[in-house]
Chain A
Amino acid sequence: MLLELKDVWIHYHKVAAVKGISIAVEEGGIVTLIGANGAGKSTTLRTISGLKRASAGEIEFAGERIDRVAPEKVTKMGIAHVPEGRRVFPYMSVVENLEMGAYLRTDKRAIEKGYEEVFEHFPRLRERRKQQAGTLSGGEQQMLAIGRALMTDPKLILMDEPSLGLSPIMCREIAKIIRDLHQAGRTIVLVEQNARLALALAQKGYVLETGRIALEGDAKDLRENEQVKRTYLGM
């Protein structure tokens, strides 16, 4: 297992947002967490990347405990986080944003290759490389956020609601990019409210309900599950 959460609890003050979840992510796969607003999906991702502390349980990445590790060290270990709401640096150019993704890397040639890879995935970012990130469209900002994450040279990418607020066309484009990244061998944990999109992309899924895992299994089984169909796919 590349990433493993074992009975993880997460609290906001005294309120438990996540109540003992266990998740396993294999190398090279796409795993999705779906669920309603407030189910604890973003909280889980934020805890994996060290922005939030788990109050109990263990998180292991590539065989090492990371549940007490600071976010910048988690990034160094190989976990990139594409945060909810994109969170690009609005007053920096596209290139500067990517440069920040490569902050911890020192091998100049590898960084150059990183830029090339990002611009191959996102030709539009190459066109706008000098533009201030805050002036990009929502979809372009999402591309930049994903590109910035790629620049950290991650073993695992956490994506929080990449389709949020995007047009259907842009959603399809983001979906294609996620598929491309998967084909290039990246491991992805995808958090989505758009369950249809998420289950189409992932091999494995977890359904979160108010901090607990209500269902888990192969994505294709979840797609056929009556409860999932009714609650999350609107069928």
Chain B
Amino acid sequence: MDSATLIQTLLNSVVTSSVYALVAVGLAMAFGVMKMANFAHGEFFMVGAYTVYVLYQLGGFNFWVAVALAIPIVALLGVATERIIFRQTGANILAGFMATVALGFVLQVAVGRIWGVGLMKRIDTPYMGAADIGDAHVGWQRLLVIPCAIAMLIALRYFLYNAKLGKALRACAQDPEAAALQGINIRNMTMLAMALAGASAGLAGALMAPIAAITPYMGHGVILIAFIVVVVGGMASIGGAVIAAIILGFIHTFVATLTDSLIATMVGVGFMALTLVVRPQGLLGREKS
């Protein structure tokens, strides 16, 4: 690998890691509070991408306005998912699984019906051109994913560790019953977690819209990777999800550049298996007391 390819691959790895982190953090946070996974999380990402497609490409809005709107739109989808699905399923894991898988299909079909299934949607790149770093050549559109993701993650972290509501959310994840005894409304906290999960997945999808292939089914690959990241990080651990996202982002990008993306996925899953053998609770997972 020459130095240009190396630099380019390194930068691509950081971009990939940023997207993985955004998607996985939401999945981990919602899991932390509900002890249930949202299998429609990949479709949240897809809806984020479609928001940009519809508003920016079809609607003529400014790109950043479209990205900014994707955040509350998908956050609302998260809130709706909590109210319509998780509030009904309660602690029934099987029901939650089936209902959210179904929600994923519903969203895919709905989007396909409205905007078509066939060819992938093309989005005009808002930021043409590329940065020349050494001999490497990386598109601006890719690079700007990095600061956006970092800003979102820092904002989330600040919220969870400094805001009263954020602390209450952490308390719920650690012991929901004890949290209820302090006067914290668990349902509202679950809704908040789902809103934040939607917001971060929506942002990830929106940022990827000009780079990725937009189809109703683009959530599939995303949720698969998000689950691997969250399992490696330690199911409910947000910090673990970020670290695992970085590791897997690098693994996938490098292996895909050197060989192909199928082998990259295999190596990623292999890494997950290895992690689970060495640390069954995940990198930063917490053992049940």
A residues with CB within 8 A of B? 49-51, 70-72, 75-76, 80-81, 83, 87-92, 96, 99-101, 103-104, 134, 148, 152
- Could you tell me if B177 and A87 are in contact, using CB atoms closer than 8 angstroms? yes
- Could you tell me if A89 and B171 are in contact, using CB atoms closer than 8 angstroms? yes
The CA-CA distance from A148 to B181 in the complex, in Å, is 10
Query: Which residue in B164, B183, B186 is a CB contact (below 8 Å) of A75?
Result: B183
The CA-CA distance from A34 to B180 in the complex, in Å, is 26
Kindly list chain A residues whose C-beta atoms are within 8 Å of the C-beta of B183: 72, 75-76, 103-104, 152
Nearest Cβ in chain A — how far from B144, in angstroms?
A: 34
Nearest Cβ in chain B — how far from A75, in angstroms?
A: 4
- Could you tell me if A83 and B170 are in contact, using CB atoms closer than 8 angstroms? no
Kindly list chain B residues whose C-beta atoms are within 8 Å of the C-beta of A81: 181
Beyond the given pairs A51-B181, A91-B286, 11 more chain A to chain B contacts, judged by CB atoms under 8 angstroms and listed by A's residue number, are A51-B180, A87-B178, A88-B178, A89-B170, A89-B178, A91-B170, A92-B171, A92-B174, A96-B167, A100-B182, A101-B182
- Could you tell me if A100 and B179 are in contact, using CB atoms closer than 8 angstroms? yes
The CA-CA distance from A103 to B168 in the complex, in Å, is 8
State whether the Cβ of B289 lies closer than 8 Å to any Cβ in chain A: yes
Which of chain A's residues has its CB closest to B286's CB? A91
The CA-CA distance from A153 to B264 in the complex, in Å, is 56
Nearest Cβ in chain B — how far from A99, in angstroms?
A: 6
The CA-CA distance from A74 to B229 in the complex, in Å, is 39
Nearest Cβ in chain A — how far from B277, in angstroms?
A: 25
State whether the Cβ of B185 lies closer than 8 Å to any Cβ in chain A: yes
The CA-CA distance from A116 to B135 in the complex, in Å, is 62
State whether the Cβ of B184 lies closer than 8 Å to any Cβ in chain A: yes
State whether the Cβ of B260 lies closer than 8 Å to any Cβ in chain A: no
B residues with CB within 8 A of A? 164, 167-168, 170-171, 174-175, 177-186, 286, 289
The CA-CA distance from A76 to B167 in the complex, in Å, is 19
Kindly list chain A residues whose C-beta atoms are within 8 Å of the C-beta of B174: 89-92
Nearest Cβ in chain B — how far from A180, in angstroms?
A: 22
Contacts A87-B175, A90-B174, A92-B174; A152 near B167 (Cβ below 8 A): no
Which of chain A's residues has its CB closest to B237's CB? A91
The CA-CA distance from A70 to B170 in the complex, in Å, is 20
Nearest Cβ in chain A — how far from B202, in angstroms?
A: 28
Kindly list chain A residues whose C-beta atoms are within 8 Å of the C-beta of B182: 72, 75, 100-101, 103-104, 148, 152
The CA-CA distance from A152 to B171 in the complex, in Å, is 15
Kindly list chain B residues whose C-beta atoms are within 8 Å of the C-beta of A80: 181
The CA-CA distance from A81 to B183 in the complex, in Å, is 11
- Could you tell me if A72 and B180 are in contact, using CB atoms closer than 8 angstroms? yes
Kindly list chain B residues whose C-beta atoms are within 8 Å of the C-beta of A92: 167, 170-171, 174
7 A-B pairs closest in CB distance: A104-B183, A75-B183, A87-B178, A71-B180, A89-B174, A100-B182, A72-B183
Kindly list chain B residues whose C-beta atoms are within 8 Å of the C-beta of A50: 180
The CA-CA distance from A141 to B79 in the complex, in Å, is 35
Nearest Cβ in chain B — how far from A60, in angstroms?
A: 20
Q: Could you show 6 A-B contacts with beta carbons less than 8 Å apart?
A: A51-B180, A51-B181, A72-B183, A89-B175, A91-B286, A92-B170
Which of chain B's residues has its CB closest to A145's CB? B178
Which among A76, A89, A101 has the greatest number of chain B C-beta atoms within 10 A? A89
Kindly list chain A residues whose C-beta atoms are within 8 Å of the C-beta of B175: 87, 89-90
Kindly list chain B residues whose C-beta atoms are within 8 Å of the C-beta of A89: 170-171, 174-175, 178-179
Kindly list chain B residues whose C-beta atoms are within 8 Å of the C-beta of A104: 182-183
The CA-CA distance from A50 to B183 in the complex, in Å, is 11
Which of chain A's residues has its CB closest to B174's CB? A89
Which of chain B's residues has its CB closest to A149's CB? B181
Which of chain A's residues has its CB closest to B167's CB? A96
The CA-CA distance from A232 to B164 in the complex, in Å, is 44
Nearest Cβ in chain B — how far from A114, in angstroms?
A: 13
The CA-CA distance from A76 to B184 in the complex, in Å, is 10
The CA-CA distance from A101 to B164 in the complex, in Å, is 11
The CA-CA distance from A122 to B175 in the complex, in Å, is 23
Kindly list chain A residues whose C-beta atoms are within 8 Å of the C-beta of B178: 83, 87-89
- Could you tell me if B177 and A100 are in contact, using CB atoms closer than 8 angstroms? no
Contacts A51-B180, A88-B178, A90-B174; A72 near B167 (Cβ below 8 A): no
The CA-CA distance from A101 to B180 in the complex, in Å, is 10
